Amino acid sequence: MTVMTKRRSPKRRARAGPSPSTGMTRAEQVRLAQRMETIGRLSSGLAHDFNNLLTAILGQCDLLLRRLPEGEPARKGIEEIRTAGERAAGLTRQLLAYSRRQVLKPRVIDLNASVTSMVPMLRRLIGETIDLNPTLQTDLGRVEADPSQVEQIIMNLVVNARDSMPHGGRVVVETSNADLDETFAKRHVPTRPGSYVMLAVSDTGTGMNKATLARIFEPFFTTKQLGKGTGLGLATVYGIVKQSDGYIWVYSEPGMGSTFKIYLPRVDAEVSLEDARETPPPLPSGSETVLLVEDDRTVRMLAGEMLRMNGYTVLQARDGREALDLVRRHGQPIHLLLTDVVMPEMSGRQLATGVADIQPGIRVLYMSGYTDGVIAHHGVLDAGVAYLQKPFTADFLARKVREVLDARAGCRPAGPAKEG
Amino acid sitting at position 17: G
Q: Tell me if 351 is assigned to some domain.
A: yes
Q: What is the DSSP string of 93-152?
A: HHHHHHTT-SPP--EEE-HHHHHHHHHHHHHHHH-TTEEEEEEE-TT--EEEE-HHHHHH
Q: Looking at residue 139, what is its pLDDT?
A: 93
Domain match, 294 and 257 both: no
Q: How far is CA 219 from CA 23, 25, 92, 231, 373, in A?
A: 23, 23, 11, 6, 21
Is a pLDDT exceeding 80 seen at residue 133?
Answer: yes
Domain match, 182 and 318 both: no
Maximum average pLDDT range among 14-23, 121-130, 210-219, 346-355: 346-355
Q: Looking at residue 356, what is its pLDDT?
A: 94
Q: How far apart are CA 153 and CA 144, in angstroms?
A: 15
What integer best gives the mean pLDDT of the chain?
A: 78
How many domains, the chain?
A: 2
Q: Which of 120, 131, 197, 117 is nearest to 161 (CA)?
A: 131
Domain match, 258 and 399 both: no
pLDDT band at 419 (very low <50, low <70, confident <90, very high): very low
Q: Tell me if 191 is assigned to some domain.
A: yes
Domain match, 230 and 125 both: yes
Domain match, 304 and 237 both: no
Domain match, 207 and 296 both: no
Q: Tell me if 108 is assigned to some domain.
A: yes
Domain match, 262 and 293 both: no
Domain match, 193 and 135 both: yes
Neighbouring residues of 318: CB distance < 8 A, sequence distance ≥ 6: 293, 294, 295, 297, 300
Q: Tell me if 51 is assigned to some domain.
A: no
Q: How far apart are CA 159 and CA 234, in angstroms?
A: 10
**CATH code (residue 392):** 3.40.50.2300
**Cβ contact 206:182 at 8 Å:** no
Print the domain residue range for 313: 289-405
Is a pLDDT exceeding 70 seen at residue 38?
Answer: no
Maximum average pLDDT range among 37-51, 271-285, 331-345: 331-345
Domain boundary residue, one of 206, 233, 267: 267
Q: Looking at residue 246, what is its pLDDT?
A: 92
Is a pLDDT exceeding 80 seen at residue 175?
Answer: yes
**CATH code (residue 118):** 3.30.565.10
Q: Tell me if 84 is assigned to some domain.
A: no
Domain match, 227 and 324 both: no
Domain match, 297 and 261 both: no
pLDDT band at 314 (very low <50, low <70, confident <90, very high): very high
Maximum average pLDDT range among 59-63, 265-269, 311-315: 311-315
Is a pLDDT exceeding 70 seen at residue 417?
Answer: no
Domain match, 7 and 132 both: yes
Q: Tell me if 212 is assigned to some domain.
A: yes
Question: pLDDT: is 371 or 120 the higher one?
Answer: 120
pTM: 0.51
Q: Tell me if 228 is assigned to some domain.
A: yes
Domain match, 309 and 372 both: yes
Q: Tell me if 225 is assigned to some domain.
A: yes
Is a pLDDT exceeding 70 seen at residue 3?
Answer: no
Q: Looking at residue 17, what is its pLDDT?
A: 32
